[in-house]
Amino acid sequence: MSTEVKKIVFQNKELLNQAFEIRKKVFVEEQNTDAEEEFDSLDEEAIHYLVIFKGISAATGRRRITTEGHKLERFAVLKKFRGNRLAVALMNEMLKDVLPDEKKVYLYAQAYAEKFYEKFGFKREGEMFIEANIEHYKMGYMK
């Protein structure tokens, strides 16, 4: 399996557009999220990741610094590539980048994906909430 995870900044428009296209297909088209809510001004300050699988852009995510610490977000894998452990490769790369910093690491997990994030050491913090009409849990990384 040939999987590569690329870290990209907002100025790299070619790779960023590939990441945005994945998010559009997964969040806007599949999950009916409002495009204006999905693509926000925070994209400019975030570090984006693009997973290339067998030469094709197949998954993405972003991270950014907030007042709480490192927030991992916007995880998306194209439907036809699910089951190839691309989200695992993406999460491993993101954690490798943020854990040395010693700041809190957290995310807002869609409720159905809670067990996936638990495998990496994330634990639920608080009650379920709705974001973009989807049930979520805040989860923090426990060292």
* Residue 29 belongs to a domain: yes
Determine contact, residues 138/124, Cβ cutoff 8 Å. yes
Is 112 domain-assigned? Answer: no
Checking if the pLDDT of 120 tops 90, the result is yes
- Provide the greatest CA pair distance for the chain: 40
Domain count, the chain: 1
Predicted confidence band of residue 3 (pLDDT cuts 50, 70, 90):
confident
pLDDT at 1 over 70: no
Is the pLDDT at 100 greater than 80, yes or no?
yes
Q: Which pLDDT band holds residue 9 (cuts at 50, 70, 90)?
A: confident
Containing domain of residue 63, as a range?
A: 3-103
Does residue 139 fall inside a structural domain?
no
Q: Average pLDDT, stretch 114-126?
A: 97
CATH number at residue 45: 3.40.630.30
- Give long-range contacts, CB 8 A cutoff, 24+ apart: 31-37: 31/132, 31/134, 32/133, 33/132, 33/133, 33/134, 34/132, 37/132
